[in-house]
């Protein structure tokens, strides 16, 4: 499905929340690098997709009503066999049905397990005065607890992207702290520009979160995406 078809389908169902699967498809079409992800609607399909991807894989609940998938018990990482995948599929559906009986369930998203990297996040929200604003930060507790993030107004120039990465306090972690891998900063700059372009070209997108993106010495890849649409446009 094209970006517009995905958005139209959500709207026709009265939704402003796109699932992870839909969000990833939409941003992928804008050239943003996303881990390979497919929707499975049965455990057999989940197993066959994982064989196609190769193990290990990750399974996640696909529901427009479950925005925080791991908090809900809807994420299973590091699945190494088709049998583990089948069981994870059933466990995820069961726990979500139990905890959120009203949730609309599209199935389960199956994806490649990304190798460990430095987790960063890129977000977009709309400010009443400035319009769309991009946020950049390091993932995990650095964002949640320390709020170590930077902001720039869309559209971003290359220089804005370079500055917003360097002005976070955790920047040394991206340069390879204590023997850790130094990440490809220029790739992250390009990624910020691509997100800025996407936001400019898609005014019907109200909020965007790529959280986390795994950054490496040779590129970066988003493993989770969330798009929220403007009301009825
Ligand atoms: P949510 O933010 O809805 O709880 P995520 O999709 O972000 O769910 O998954 C939770 C965490 O699991 C991520 O922050 C990341 O650390 C890890 N994770 C998710 N998907 C992958 C993946 N494909 N490969 C490796 N790690 C992943
Ligand atoms: Mg996430």
Are the beta carbons of 134 and 192 closer than 8 angstroms?
yes
Encode pLDDT of 39-67 as tens digits. Answer: 999 999 999 999 999 999 999 999 999 99
* Distance of alpha carbon 13 from alpha carbon 5, whole angstroms: 12
Q: For ligand 1, is residue 69 a contact (CB within 6 Å)?
A: yes
How far apart are the C-alpha atoms of 223 and 209, rounded to whole Å?
Answer: 11
| Residues forming CATH 3.30.1490.20 domain(s) in the chain | 3-112
Q: Is residue 194 scored above 70 in pLDDT?
A: yes
Q: What is the pLDDT of residue 43?
A: 97
Check if CATH label 3.30.1490.20 holds for domain 3-112.
Answer: yes
Identify the residue with better confidence: 140 or 191.
191
The pTM for the full model equals 0.96
Q: Is the dihedral of CA 52, 19, 71, 32 positive or negative?
A: positive
For ligand 1, whether the C-beta of 111 sits within 6 Å is: yes
| Per-residue confidence (pLDDT) for residue 233, from 0 to 100 | 56
CB 209 within 8 A of CB 139: no
pLDDT of residue 232: 77
Q: What is the helix (H) or strand (E) element at residue 165, kind and residue range?
A: helix 158-166
Beta carbons of 66 and 48 less than 8 angstroms apart: no
Residue 152 is predicted with a pLDDT of 98
CA gap 119, 125 in Å, rounded: 20
Which listed ligand is nearest to 119 at the C-alpha?
Answer: 1
Instruction: Please name the helix (run of DSSP H) or strand (run of DSSP E) that holds residue 137, with its range, or none.
Output: strand 131-138
Whether the CB of 114 sits within 6 Å of ligand 1: yes
Specify the pLDDT at position 181. 84
Ligand 1, pocket-test mutation among 70, 139, 220, most atoms within 8 A of CB? 70
Rounded Cα distance between 220 and 154, Å, is: 21
Numbered ranges of CATH 3.30.470.20 in the chain: 118-229
Give the CA count within 13 Å in the CB-facing half-sphere of 228.
12
Are 164 and 150 in contact by the 8 Å Cβ rule? The answer is yes
Residues in the 5 Å CB sphere of ion ligand 2: 211, 224
161 lines ligand 1 (CB under 6 A): no
Is omega for the bond preceding 155 within 30 degrees of 0, making it cis? yes
Q: Which atom of ligand 1 is nearest to the CA of 111?
A: 23
Phi, psi of 204 (to 5 degrees): -75, -5
pLDDT digits (tens, 9 = 90+) for 94-130: 999 999 999 999 999 999 999 999 999 999 999 999 9
User: Looking at residue 24, what DSSP letter applies?
Assistant: H
Q: What is the CATH number of domain 118-229?
A: 3.30.470.20
Residue 107, classed as helix, strand or coil, is strand
Residue in the block written with tokens 């929707």:
39
What average pLDDT score do residues 16-20 get? 98
- What mean pLDDT is predicted for residues 131-137? 97
Mean pLDDT, rounded, of the chain: 95
């Amino acid at each position: 499905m094209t970006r517009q078809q995905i958005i139209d389908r959500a709207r026709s169902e009265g939704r402003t929340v796109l699932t992870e699967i839909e969000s990833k498809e939409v941003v992928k079409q804008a050239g943003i690098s996303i881990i390979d992800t497919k929707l499975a609607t049965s455990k057999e399909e989940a197993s066959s997709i994982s064989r196609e991807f190769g193990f290990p894989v990750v399974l996640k609940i696909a529901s427009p009503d479950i925005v925080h998938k791991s908090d809900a018990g809807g994420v299973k990482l590091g699945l190494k066999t088709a049998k583990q995948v089948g069981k994870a599929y059933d466990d995820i559906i069961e726990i979500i049905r139990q905890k959120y009986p009203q949730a609309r369930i599209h199935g389960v998203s199956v994806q490649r397990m990304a190798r460990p990297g430095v987790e960063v996040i890129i977000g977009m929200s709309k400010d009443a005065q400035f319009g769309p604003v991009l946020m950049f930060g390091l993932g995990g507790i650095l964002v949640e607890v320390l709020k170590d993030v930077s902001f720039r107004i869309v559209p971003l120039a290359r220089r804005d992207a370079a500055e917003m990465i360097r002005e976070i306090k955790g920047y040394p972690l991206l340069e390879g702290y204590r023997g850790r891998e130094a990440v490809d900063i220029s790739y992250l700059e390009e990624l910020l520009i691509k997100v800025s372009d996407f936001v400019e070209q898609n005014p019907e997108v109200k909020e965007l979160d790529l959280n986390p993106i795994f950054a490496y010495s040779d590129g970066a890849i988003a493993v989770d995406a969330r798009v929220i649409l403007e009301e009825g446009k």
